[in-house]
Amino acid sequence: MPEETAGMQGTPTRHLVRLLIVICAVIIAILAAFYIYLRISSFGTAADLKPYEPTQLIDSKRMGDHSTAVKNFEAIQNDPLQKADAKALAVYNIYGSRFKLSANILDQIKDVQDMKKVILDPNVALWTRVNTLNILSASYCGSGRDPAVLGEIYKDAPFNTYFVEGEPDLSARHISEWSYSMMPTSFAAVRIARWYSEQKITYPNLAATTTAEYVAKAEQYLGYADTYAAVEAKNDPQYHDSSRYMLYRFWKAIIIGRLAREKGAPYTGTYRGEYDNFFKFAQAQQNAVAKEYIYYARFFFSGQLMADKDATAAKAQLDQLAQELNSMSNPDVSTFVRFLRFESTRPTGQNWRLAQYLFKTSPDFKAAVDHVIATAPKETEASVSAPIDDISR
């Protein structure tokens, strides 16, 4: 009986507590709504309160509309209300667009200068700094291996501490390792794997023990790249549609092709499929940047096919590449064309030796390359004045 009486007396108390909780929740909601109203009244619409995302810049660049991309970039940089991270994201996304409009290497140098400021700015989010550093690590290759761009990347601290004289690719690996130590990404990992996978090609007489060590390192970092690609895809719904993912897929195909030569199984049975999958993916991506990497992939894939004595398949790739070169409306802004022009000045370099070897397989490819090299424009002052050491292999 006493227990029953206590339960009956407790019921109104519980109802009162619940009522007080509801009242408090309503008061909090009203105060929150009032705060938001004050914020909107003071600073504009609710949309103004969201962090800026340069979607128009990204979409314009993706479509190859570099003029609109640059206008959006300049608007962001000139807007005093934009925070450091928003402006940094614009720098990260605009890379290469100004050069595509001007064909002047000074615009690529400007990109490098802007990226270095972003990387060192403590007010910028780590994600943005790391991914900008990843672009910087590849910007020498992205310039077609222009010596002026190389000099700009490493001319001051702390970037000069990663430079190795006469070894631009090793220097780039060091930058990628710096990036990876800050925050592991698929891009940094695959670029590190890229260096280890190419040493046997660069130095055919490399000791067997060193080759085995480098192959193991390439496999290790390729595995890391696969792991972080999955992590990035989970964290970013747009990752599979990004240039970051496209570049990871490109380098993965290149590395697996190299490992097929250096190690054999299981890569000998998978590298063709890896390249084919990359071509299908890049062509379907509707990304202007992807076109450049299709050119590079055809070139190196053909070399791998020739090493496997499959001249028929190599010729098919090279003839297609010849058509793509011949259809360019402005070869001067193509990274791949600039790469060919630079390599042609180094007749004993490994890339030009490969090109000469491939010329014998596809006369159409030779004619197309001869044409884009013969029509090379006058170099900018920056390129002429830059010291040209033995900076490319």
For the segment 284-300, what is each residue's pLDDT rounded down to a tens digit?
988 888 999 999 999 99
Q: Taking 50 as the threshold, does the pLDDT of residue 96 lie above it?
A: yes
CA distances from 373 to 154, 282, 299 (A): 28, 26, 16
Question: How wide is the angle at C-alpha 186 spanned by C-alphas 182 and 187, nearest 5°?
Answer: 80
pLDDT class for 385, splitting at 50, 70, 90?
A: very low
pLDDT class for 13, splitting at 50, 70, 90?
A: low
Q: What's the confidence (pLDDT) of residue 117? A: 97
Q: What's the confidence (pLDDT) of residue 23? A: 59
Q: What's the confidence (pLDDT) of residue 54? A: 83
For residues 306 and 314, the answer to whether their CB atoms sit within 8 Å is yes
Q: What's the confidence (pLDDT) of residue 376? A: 64
Q: What is the largest CA-CA distance in the chain?
A: 106
Q: Taking 60 as the threshold, does the pLDDT of residue 119 lie above it?
A: yes
Q: Which of 38-54 are b and which e, b meaning 16 or more Cβ less than 10 Å from the residue's Cβ? A: eeeeeeeeeeeeeebeb
Average pLDDT of the chain to the nearest whole number: 86
Q: Taking 70 as the threshold, does the pLDDT of residue 201 lie above it?
A: yes
Segment 240-249 shows an average pLDDT of 93
Choose between 7 and 201: higher pLDDT. 201
Segment 169-184 shows an average pLDDT of 97
Q: Cα-atom radius of gyration of the chain, to the nearest Å?
A: 27
Alpha-carbon span 307 to 9, nearest angstrom: 90
Q: What's the confidence (pLDDT) of residue 14? A: 59
**Sign of the torsion angle spanned by Cα atoms 284, 287, 292, 296:** negative
Q: What's the confidence (pLDDT) of residue 20? A: 57
Q: What's the confidence (pLDDT) of residue 12? A: 56
pLDDT class for 16, splitting at 50, 70, 90?
A: low
Alpha-carbon span 323 to 374, nearest angstrom: 17
Residue 132 CB partners (closer than 8 Å, separation 6+): 88, 91, 92, 115, 118, 119
Segment 321-329 shows an average pLDDT of 96
Choose between 41 and 261: higher pLDDT. 261
- Euclidean distance between the first and final Cα of the chain, in Å? 95
Alpha-carbon span 22 to 341, nearest angstrom: 74
**Sign of the torsion angle spanned by Cα atoms 276, 282, 285, 291:** negative
Question: How wide is the angle at C-alpha 175 spanned by C-alphas 97 and 178, nearest 5°?
Answer: 120
Alpha-carbon span 223 to 2, nearest angstrom: 70
Segment 37-58 shows an average pLDDT of 47
Q: Taking 90 as the threshold, does the pLDDT of residue 131 lie above it?
A: yes
Alpha-carbon span 101 to 68, nearest angstrom: 11
pLDDT class for 223, splitting at 50, 70, 90?
A: very high
Question: How wide is the angle at C-alpha 80 spanned by C-alphas 78 and 82, nearest 5°?
Answer: 90
Q: Which of 168-182, 210-224, 370-384 has the lowest mean pLDDT?
A: 370-384
CA distances from 58 to 46, 90, 92 (A): 23, 9, 10
Classify burial at 286, counting beta carbons within 10 Å of its beta carbon; exposed 0-12, middle 13-18, buried 19 or more: exposed
Q: What's the confidence (pLDDT) of residue 392? A: 30
Segment 349-370 shows an average pLDDT of 96
Q: What's the confidence (pLDDT) of residue 288? A: 86
CB atoms within 10 A of CB 198: 19
Q: What's the confidence (pLDDT) of residue 24? A: 56
Q: What's the confidence (pLDDT) of residue 375? A: 75
Segment 128-154 shows an average pLDDT of 95
Q: Taking 80 as the threshold, does the pLDDT of residue 175 lie above it?
A: yes
Encoded tokens for 9: 């007396």
Alpha-carbon span 172 to 297, nearest angstrom: 20
Q: Taking 60 as the threshold, does the pLDDT of residue 303 lie above it?
A: yes
pLDDT class for 391, splitting at 50, 70, 90?
A: very low
Alpha-carbon span 234 to 175, nearest angstrom: 26
State if pTM tops 0.75.
yes
Choose between 170 and 33: higher pLDDT. 170
The helix/strand count (H/E) of the chain reads as: 19, 0
